């Protein structure tokens, strides 16, 4: 007599009455009366269907249930087969739910004792209470991805380590780019119940708004948040206030330190990226510069000297590092290399 391998790995003796029982439940779910003799006949057909899958007198319970579905369809009971498929899915969710409830202690202990590789999955997450909160919520979200969004084949491949699905702890999009021009024009606001800031009129204010904006958006996304034409859009603020290089560097320094502050969930700094043009792009050079939400009487193309100050200050700060000489993680800079790039 062959035996059945259950989902938890246990091996039990085969019992055909259990097949009859699940088939009966499937018919009852459809409110379809059926004679017990027909149920027994279908159960025998199921044993014949999975016979070729028996190896070393062992058969997996999943293979038996696959055969139940197949036999019901072949016998003309497609609706009953659908009911059985739904029954399997509900049972699976119930098992997963029980597992989640029973694993709460293990989930917390794995983080506290650093016994789970996921604790160090992201190098930017600091071991902290914030990291523990992120780990706990991430475990729930990962289960949601695998049970409600990905199909069974993909979910099983991940659980069996055939593939790895990264960032399952986040139920959101990955990376996003934002318009720095729009922030300069409109200021920081638009969130119901939260404070609203008018368009920045000075470079120091704009740097603070950029830090706050990136921090806000990072809480809505899993990956990097980006601004383009960073130096081009900041240069007019330098020009309007006739800032010295020292003043420019102090403003850029406050921005760099701000985006490296662990203000994001999990005690992380916002993952930020900025693109620097180095030279004014053709599509911007003839446009009126914007400061304080208003157009100026000069263009972005008139601010090349101020762009150079912004770029010099940014590069110096990134090279110098923090008070201990440690390099800054963010923002990750990207430079636009064009034909008119000044290599000198």
Average pLDDT over residues 2-19: 88
Express each pLDDT in 134-188 by its tens digit: 888 888 888 889 888 998 889 889 988 899 998 888 888 889 999 999 999 999 9
Q: Are 323 and 180 members of one domain?
A: yes
The CB density around residue 300, as the number of other CB atoms within 10 Å, is 26
Let me know if residue 343 belongs to a domain. Answer: no
Domain hosting 107: range is 103-159
Peptide bond just before 339 cis, omega within 30 deg: no
Cβ atoms of 120 and 63 within 8 Å: the answer is: no
pLDDT grade, residue 98 (50/70/90)? low
Backbone angles phi, psi at 268, to 5 degrees: -115, 155
Average pLDDT over residues 80-102: 73
Cβ atoms of 53 and 62 within 8 Å: the answer is: no
Average pLDDT over residues 176-204: 93
Output the pLDDT for position 244.
97
Output the pLDDT for position 62.
87
> Is residue 5 within a helix (H) or strand (E), and if so which, with residue range?
strand 3-5
Range of weakest confidence among 15-29, 125-139, 266-280, 282-296: 125-139
Q: Are 83 and 121 members of one domain?
A: no
Q: Are 197 and 111 members of one domain?
A: no
Give the residue from 88, 113, 137 where a domain finishes. 88
Q: Are 108 and 45 members of one domain?
A: no
Average pLDDT over residues 322-341: 89
SS3 content of the chain, % helix, strand, coil (to 5): 55, 10, 35
Q: Are 122 and 42 members of one domain?
A: no
The b/e string for 230-269 (b: 16+ C-beta within 10 A; e otherwise) is bbbbbbbbbbbeebeeebbbbbbbbbbebbbebbbbbbbb
Query: Is the pTM above the cut of 0.85?
Result: no
Sign of CA dihedral 130, 194, 216, 231: negative
Let me know if residue 205 belongs to a domain. Answer: yes
Q: Are 131 and 209 members of one domain?
A: no
**Radius of gyration (C-alpha) of the chain in whole angstroms:** 31
Let me know if residue 341 belongs to a domain. Answer: no
Express each pLDDT in 34-71 by its tens digit: 899 999 999 999 999 999 999 988 999 889 989 998 99
Q: Are 14 and 71 members of one domain?
A: yes
Express each pLDDT in 291-324 by its tens digit: 999 999 999 999 999 999 999 999 999 999 999 9
Q: Are 196 and 252 members of one domain?
A: yes
Q: Are 110 and 213 members of one domain?
A: no
Spatial distance between the Cα atoms of 210 and 218, rounded to a whole number of angstroms: 12
Let me know if residue 317 belongs to a domain. Answer: yes
Write the DSSP assignment of 128-146 as a string of letters.
Answer: SHHHHHHHHHHHHHHHHII
pLDDT grade, residue 96 (50/70/90)? low
Output the pLDDT for position 128.
77
Let me know if residue 50 belongs to a domain. Answer: yes
Express each pLDDT in 214-224 by its tens digit: 998 888 888 89
Give the residue from 88, 120, 141 where a domain finishes. 88
Q: Are 193 and 329 members of one domain?
A: yes
pLDDT grade, residue 265 (50/70/90)? low
Q: Are 132 and 266 members of one domain?
A: no
pLDDT value at 1 more than 60: yes
Give the residue from 63, 88, 113 where a domain finishes. 88
Q: Are 209 and 298 members of one domain?
A: yes
Q: How many structural domains is the chain composed of?
A: 3
Cβ atoms of 256 and 208 within 8 Å: the answer is: no
Residue 131's Cβ-side half-sphere holds a number of Cα atoms within 13 Å equal to 20
Let me know if residue 165 belongs to a domain. Answer: no
């Amino acid at each position: 007599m062959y035996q059945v391998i259950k989902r938890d790995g246990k091996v039990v003796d085969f019992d055909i009455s259990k097949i009859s029982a699940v088939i009966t439940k499937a018919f009852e779910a459809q409110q379809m009366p059926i004679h017990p003799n027909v149920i027994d006949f279908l159960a025998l057909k199921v044993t014949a269907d999975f016979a070729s899958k028996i190896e070393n007198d062992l058969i997996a319970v999943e293979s038996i249930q696959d055969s139940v579905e197949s036999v019901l369809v072949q016998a003309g009971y497609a609706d009953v087969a659908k009911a059985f498929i739904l029954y399997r899915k509900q049972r699976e969710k119930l098992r997963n739910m029980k597992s989640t409830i029973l694993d709460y202690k293990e989930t917390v202990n794995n983080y506290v004792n650093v016994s789970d590789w996921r604790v160090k999955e992201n190098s930017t997450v600091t071991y902290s209470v914030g990291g523990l909160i992120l780990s706990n919520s991430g475990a729930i979200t990962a289960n949601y991805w695998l049970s409600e969004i990905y199909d069974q084949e993909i979910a099983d491949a991940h659980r069996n380590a055939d593939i790895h699905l990264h960032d399952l702890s986040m139920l959101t999009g990955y990376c996003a780019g934002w318009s720095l021009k729009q922030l300069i024009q409109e200021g920081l606001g638009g969130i119901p119940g939260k404070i609203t800031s008018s368009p920045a009129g000075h470079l120091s204010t704009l740097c603070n708004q950029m830090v706050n904006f990136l921090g806000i958006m990072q809480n809505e996304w899993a990956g990097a948040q980006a601004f383009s034409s960073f130096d081009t859009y900041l240069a007019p603020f330098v020009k309007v206030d006739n800032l010295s290089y020292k003043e420019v560097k102090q403003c850029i320094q406050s921005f760099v330190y701000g985006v490296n502050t662990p203000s994001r969930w999990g005690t992380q700094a916002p993952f930020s990226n900025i693109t620097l043009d180095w030279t004014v792009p053709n599509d911007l050079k003839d446009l009126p510069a914007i400061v304080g939400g208003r157009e100026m009487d000069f263009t972005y193309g008139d601010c090349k000297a101020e762009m150079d100050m912004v770029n010099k200050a940014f590069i110096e700060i990134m090279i110098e590092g923090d008070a201990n000489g440690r390099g800054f993680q963010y923002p990750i800079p990207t430079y636009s290399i064009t034909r008119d790039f000044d290599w000198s």
